[in-house]
Amino acid sequence: MSSMLLEAKELHTYYGASHILHGIDFHIRQGEGIALMGRNGMGKSTLIKSMLGIVRPRHGQVLVRGDDFTRERTFRIARRGIAYVPEGRGIFPNLSVRENLQMSARAGLDGQCNWTFERVMETFPRLGERINNGGWQLSGGEQQMLTIGRALMTNPDLLILDEATEGLAPLIAMEIWRIVKEIRKTGIATVIVDKNHGAVTSICDRAMILVKGEVVFSGTSDAIRAEPELIQKHLGV
């Protein structure tokens, strides 16, 4: 099986007449971590959605483990070992924490069951304290933990986090970053979209910056941290 988990070649994606992605190339291998950065509206979420079949690219190719999945439906892509934590979280508010987690439980692509209900509880002790609460009763940070926990219950090889700490209080965001670091240590490949460039580049091996649907930087996290002028120019921080 190819070590290449997900790959995009020359992706062009439109929303109506608006040309959002301009020939984007992207790839991630087993165990890698990629920080996907850029200001709002630069195409980060559209790139993810285009690779996952949520939005259809007009041109280009999406490969999942080396196979052409450009026109495949999202659930078929997910079944190839990819888990997605969307912006806005998307929990089921009328289900309890336990039910939200149990409904997604399944073995991984190779039959691995490393992420059990018990392990998720150990990783997210705050969820254990809310186990019978409805999703609607959780804080924003707890909902984010639940969404990540639910993704892990699918035993993925690749975890994609879109706006991992958006709108969260600083202390809760720090807890999310601690958890993501622990997840990275288990060997799960990770794509993280977040505005906190310091946090994501400390966790990830590589970084990409998008500006108006084009890649303006692609390299190691060490390389981007060594170029504060580039960070200032394209991320505005």
pLDDT value at residue 87: 86
Secondary structure (DSSP) of 141-163: HHHHHHHHHHHHTT--SEEEEES
* Proportion of the chain above pLDDT 70, given as a percent: 99
Res 229: pLDDT: 92
Average pLDDT for 198-211: 95
CA distance 219 to 33: 12
pLDDT at 237 over 80: no
pLDDT for the residue numbered 164: 85
Dihedral pair phi/psi, residue 155, rounded to 5° = 50, 60
The packing angle between helices 170-185 and 140-152, to 10°, is 10
pLDDT of 140 above 60 = yes
pLDDT band (50, 70, 90) for residue 90: confident
Q: Is the pLDDT of residue 48 over 70?
A: yes
Fold classification of 34-41+74-235 is: Rossmann fold (3.40.50)
Helices (runs of H) and strands (runs of E) counted in the chain:
10, 10
pLDDT tens-digit series, residues 52-87? 999 999 999 999 999 999 999 999 999 999 999 998
Query: Taking all residues of the chain, what is their mean pLDDT, rounded to a whole number?
Result: 93
- What phi and psi, each to the nearest 5 degrees, are found at residue 226? -85, 0
Band the pLDDT of 36: cuts 50, 70, 90: very high
Inform me whether the pLDDT recorded for 110 exceeds 50.
yes
So what's the pLDDT on residue 88? 79
Does residue 43 surpass a pLDDT of 60?
yes
Query: What's the mean pLDDT in 38-62?
Result: 95
Mean pLDDT of 225-234: 91
Q: Give dist(CA 186, CA 13) in Å, integer.
A: 33
For 183-203, the pLDDT digits (tens) are 999 999 999 999 889 999 999
- Residue 2 has what pLDDT? 54
Can you give the pLDDT at residue 1? Answer: 43
